[in-house]
Chain A
Amino acid sequence: MATEITGMVEKRGMGLWLTHVAMIVGVLVIFFPIWLAFVASTVSQPEIVRPPMPVWPGDQFIENYTAALFSGVNVPVAVMLGNSLIMAVGIAVGKIIISLLSAFAIVYFRFPGRNFFFWLIFITLMLPVEVRIVPTYEVIAGFGMLNSYSGLIFPLIASATATFLFRQFFLTVPDELAEAARVDGARPMRFFWDILLPMSRTNIAALFVILFIYGWNQYLWPLLITTDPSMNTIVMGIKQMFPSGDDVADWPVIMATSILAMIPPVVVVISMQKLFIRGLVDSEK
């Protein structure tokens, strides 16, 4: 008999099996779109345009993925993957660096304007780029940063979430550590490098996972400022692969691209599951 025991409230027999059935059905429903996309990326175009399409993978895997990666529709997907990688890593690293520095300043110093700057950063906490797209676009255009990595990255670094996470963490670091470092002769930046930074390793890693996915999944911003296909990111590039008008889309290649677009963030999330959940719960609370 199958039993799983939690304290003294145990489930057995039918109830347990029904629970498993419910979970499995849930997982299958959640997974179905991804499965279908994968199947579509392994069959040929004629198999798709004559519905219903097959539900098991075909033999065109290598052909479709090679076509997508090295020729694509407007631009090889490999190029878009590279752009996405640069953008996601740039956003994550940039946010982490400026946030670490500003959180360090706010927590460990008393300086004129500290309150003012605190609130200044705080106000940016919630405001997504979507709300201020037109003027932000004009700023970037004015700097000549259209179709550039810096144009993709910098406007998305201006958010306060990471600063707050680090601030919360620094506040939990015992006061005595900073005092001991002072007695040991460490000046502020030395304390930052030798003590605070190594102690923040887990938080930095957790935040990196969250910010990497945030950056990777950006859509509207790259759509606006990358008019040159060679600067497209993969997430926004997929839509560009659909033909305008009545032409039939090249579904196998598009679906292969979709799968490729999912792989990096999914790998990051699954492989760093613990850090990811911790980062998620910390950064949202």
Chain B
Amino acid sequence: MEKRVTFKGWLLPLCLIAPQVFISAVFFFYPAGQAVWQSLFIPDPFGLSSQFVGLENFEYLLGDPYYRASFVTTAIFSTLVTLAAMIPALFLAVMADRLVKSARVYRTLLIWPYAVAPAVAGVLWLFMFNTRVGVIAWYLGQLGYDWNHVLNEGEAMGLVVVASAWGRISYNFLFFFAALQAVPRSIIEAAAIDGARFWRRFFTIVLPLLSPITFFLLVVNIVYAFFETFGVIHTITSGGPQQATTILVYKVFSDGFVGQDLGSSAAQSVILLLLVGLLTVLQFKYIEKRVHY
């Protein structure tokens, strides 16, 4: 899509675009380039010089059992977060869509958690499941279940998944609800006349109509689970126990800043860059009609 009208001149537009290009260059392209560059070196233990090692950092990473484990952890984590964030949201949206007058009231009530930062969500859930004071942990103890996410890897994973998915339910609900409201009433009415009952209508008519938005949300939620859940994990488990909740982004942080292993951290950044690229391409499948140039 192009404008028919354009203004003349080239100096003014270059000045207009300069701030964004400058900021992108300094804070995006240069660091990204640095990541690629650093990934090819290993610094000596004193950080005084570094040695060019080619792809050794990558070879080492891919052979490193901890890194591979982190990959698996990320895959499990993001799958669970995506499911836990989307299925309740879809259910609630379908319910809200059945209501007319009160749907907006429920929507207002459900928007809330979206505004809560992932790190704050982490603190809230940590509080409920804290081994000493957590109210849910205490009731579980009364029922004879000894909750301890500090030691139990599965429980730790479960907790970060729920805390990460919680705020996302609002987000997904908004999109599902908007999509459901956009389904033409006449189609539903036609199906009703054909004798389809509610759930049958839902699975045969509505759900297929929702598939584009579902696909979109799938990608967006995976991106969220990959990159934006750092706050949740850092507040609740700090990647533990035994790295059971160390997802890839967390590992870049802990290796780079805590472990000071810059070469490995840079190589991990590069791998993440590639993953982001892949997800972007996926997302493009959805938005290509909009962002064509």
> Which A residues are closer than 8 A to B by beta carbons?
4-9, 11, 15-16, 19-20, 22-23, 26-27, 30-31, 33-34, 36-37, 40, 48-49, 51-53, 55, 97-99, 101-102, 104-115, 117-118, 120-122, 124-128, 130-139, 154-155, 157-158, 160, 163-164, 168, 170-171, 175, 178-179, 182, 187-189, 191, 213, 216-217, 219-220, 223-224, 235-236, 238-239, 248, 251, 254-255, 258, 261-262, 265-266, 268-270, 273, 276-277, 280-281, 284-285
Which listed residue (B3, B23, B166, B273) contacts A154, Cβ 8 A?
A: B23
Which listed residue (B128, B132, B272) contacts A248, Cβ 8 A?
A: B132
A26 near B231 with CB under 8 A, answer: no
B27 near A109 with CB under 8 A, answer: no
Chain A residues, Cβ within 8 Å of B152: none
A98 near B101 with CB under 8 A, answer: no
Pick from B48-56, B60-68, B167-175 the stretch touching chain A: B167-175
Known: A125-B280, A133-B257. 8 other contacts (CB 8 A): A19-B99, A34-B116, A51-B137, A135-B32, A171-B1, A217-B231, A269-B111, A284-B220
A36 near B127 with CB under 8 A, answer: yes
Q: Contacts A132-B269, A134-B269 given: A158-B27 contact, CB under 8 Å? A: yes
Which listed residue (A30, A120, A224, A262) contacts B115, Cβ 8 A?
A: A262
Q: List 7 A-B contacts (CB under 8 A).
A: A6-B188, A15-B198, A37-B123, A49-B132, A127-B276, A139-B30, A251-B133
B124 near A33 with CB under 8 A, answer: yes
Q: How far is the CA of A258 from the CA of B276 in the complex (A)?
A: 31
Q: How far is the CA of A207 from the CA of B285 in the complex (A)?
A: 24
Q: Contacts A52-B135, A127-B276, A128-B228 given: A112-B10 contact, CB under 8 Å? A: yes
B115 near A126 with CB under 8 A, answer: no
List B residues 1-20 near A (Cβ within 8 Å).
1, 3-7, 9-10, 12-14, 16-17, 19-20
Chain A residues, Cβ within 8 Å of B283: 126
Which listed residue (B14, B120, B135) contacts A235, Cβ 8 A?
A: B120
* Nearest chain A residue, comparing its CB with the CB of B7: A188
**B179 CB to closest chain A CB, in angstroms?**
10
A27 near B106 with CB under 8 A, answer: yes
Which listed residue (B3, B5, B24, B287) contacts A158, Cβ 8 A?
A: B24
B276 near A126 with CB under 8 A, answer: yes
Q: Contacts A23-B92, A33-B128, A134-B269 given: A270-B23 contact, CB under 8 Å? A: no
B26 near A109 with CB under 8 A, answer: no
B230 near A130 with CB under 8 A, answer: yes
A27 near B109 with CB under 8 A, answer: yes
B290 near A121 with CB under 8 A, answer: no
The 5 residue pairs across chains A and B that have the minimum distance between CB atoms: A219-B231, A217-B117, A135-B31, A135-B34, A109-B13
Chain B residues, Cβ within 8 Å of A108: 3, 5-7, 13
Within 8 Å of chain A (Cβ to Cβ): is B125? yes
**A103 CB to closest chain B CB, in angstroms?**
9
**B195 CB to closest chain A CB, in angstroms?**
12
A102 near B127 with CB under 8 A, answer: no
Chain A residues, Cβ within 8 Å of B234: 219-220, 223, 239
Q: Contacts A112-B10, A178-B5 given: A4-B230 contact, CB under 8 Å? A: no
List B residues 102-144 near A (Cβ within 8 Å).
102, 106, 108-121, 123-125, 127-128, 132-135, 137-139
Which listed residue (B26, B32, B114, B123) contacts A127, Cβ 8 A?
A: B32
* Nearest chain A residue, comparing its CB with the CB of B192: A9
B220 near A266 with CB under 8 A, answer: no
Chain A residues, Cβ within 8 Å of B133: 48-49, 51, 53, 251
* Nearest chain B residue, comparing its CB with the CB of A277: B174
List B residues 234-268 near A (Cβ within 8 Å).
234-235, 249, 252-253, 256-257, 262, 265-266
> Which B residues are closer than 8 A to A by beta carbons?
1, 3-7, 9-10, 12-14, 16-17, 19-21, 23-24, 26-35, 38, 88, 91-92, 95-96, 98-102, 106, 108-121, 123-125, 127-128, 132-135, 137-139, 166, 169-171, 174-175, 178, 185-186, 188-189, 192, 198, 216, 220, 223, 227-228, 230-231, 234-235, 249, 252-253, 256-257, 262, 265-266, 269, 272-273, 276, 279-280, 283, 287, 290-291, 293
A7 near B28 with CB under 8 A, answer: no
Which listed residue (B17, B111, B257, B272) contacts A105, Cβ 8 A?
A: B17
A130 near B135 with CB under 8 A, answer: no
A175 near B4 with CB under 8 A, answer: yes
A188 near B9 with CB under 8 A, answer: yes
Q: How far is the CA of A90 from the CA of B115 in the complex (A)?
A: 18
Chain B residues, Cβ within 8 Å of A284: 175, 216, 220
B100 near A139 with CB under 8 A, answer: no
A134 near B256 with CB under 8 A, answer: yes
Which listed residue (B100, B135, B186, B249) contacts A4, Cβ 8 A?
A: B100
Q: How far is the CA of A166 from the CA of B19 in the complex (A)?
A: 16
B116 near A135 with CB under 8 A, answer: no
B123 near A117 with CB under 8 A, answer: no
A53 near B123 with CB under 8 A, answer: no
* Nearest chain B residue, comparing its CB with the CB of A131: B272
B108 near A26 with CB under 8 A, answer: no
